[in-house]
């Protein structure tokens, strides 16, 4: 059984990667200091060993962040932000959201609102343990340039020719 597939979307003229399973995490490894746009619905982000759920309401410029699980996370924690009050930093200390986990860097990621394109963008701040966008079942990601992914315990890359 295929766990993901690649197809060409003629509407946007790009190759797309789509996940087909819930059993194994397929996640995009976000390159440091290379911002990625967040979907206008629910996004699952892994920073170090902590999983965040980020829900966006673009028309209202609202961001709802839920800390789902992690090394020292025992209860879900919820945060709300308005896009006018960005950037939002997530890290271990002195951030908008502080997560006390060894796998989370001091200022791990930044979420900002791109006013020109009217969307939220996420940037990994060269963190030690990396940031991943989890591509859960049905999630689609536009392929561009060189990209790396985790599939279970395996890492694979797609290189542009």
Establish how many alpha carbons lie within 13 A of residue 37's alpha carbon, considering only the half-sphere containing its beta carbon.
Answer: 14
Query: Is there a domain that residue 155 lies in?
Result: no
In the predicted model, is pLDDT for residue 19 greater than 70?
A: no
Query: Is there a domain that residue 15 lies in?
Result: no
**Count of domains forming the chain:** 1
Confidence label for 144 from pLDDT (cuts 50, 70 and 90)? low
Domain that holds residue 88: 23-137
- Give the pLDDT confidence score for residue 137 in this predicted structure: 54
- Give the pLDDT confidence score for residue 151 in this predicted structure: 57
pLDDT, mean of residues 53-77: 74
Let me know: does 76 contact 95? Beta carbons within 8 Å.
Answer: no
Query: Is there a domain that residue 121 lies in?
Result: yes
Higher pLDDT: 60 or 70? It is 60
Calpha distance 97→88 (Å, rounded) = 8
In the predicted model, is pLDDT for residue 138 greater than 60?
A: no
Query: Is there a domain that residue 151 lies in?
Result: no
What is the total residue count of the chain?
161
Higher pLDDT: 55 or 144? It is 55
In the predicted model, is pLDDT for residue 109 greater than 90?
A: yes
In the predicted model, is pLDDT for residue 117 greater than 80?
A: yes
- Tens digits of residue pLDDT in 23-44: 556 677 788 888 888 877 788 8
pTM for this model (two decimals)? 0.76
Domain CATH number, residue 27: 2.60.200
As a whole number, the mean pLDDT across the chain is 76
Query: Is there a domain that residue 144 lies in?
Result: no
The CA–CA distances, whole Å, from 122 to 44, 91, 98, 161 equal: 12, 13, 16, 26
């Amino acid at each position: 059984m295929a766990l993901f597939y690649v197809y060409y979307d003629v509407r946007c003229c790009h190759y797309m990667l789509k996940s087909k399973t819930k059993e194994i995490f397929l996640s995009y490894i976000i390159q440091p200091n290379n911002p990625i746009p967040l979907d206008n619905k629910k996004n699952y982000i892994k920073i170090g060993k902590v999983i965040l759920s980020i829900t966006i309401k673009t028309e209202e410029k609202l961001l709802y962040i839920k800390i789902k699980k992690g090394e020292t996370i025992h209860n879900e924690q919820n945060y709300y932000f308005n896009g006018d009050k960005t950037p939002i930093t997530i890290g271990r200390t002195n951030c908008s959201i502080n997560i006390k986990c060894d796998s989370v860097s001091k200022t791990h990621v930044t979420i900002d609102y791109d006013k020109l394109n009217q969307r939220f963008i996420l940037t990994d701040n060269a963190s030690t343990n990396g940031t991943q966008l989890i591509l859960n079942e049905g999630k689609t990601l536009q392929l561009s340039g060189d990209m790396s992914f985790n599939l279970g315990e395996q890492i694979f890359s797609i290189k542009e020719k």
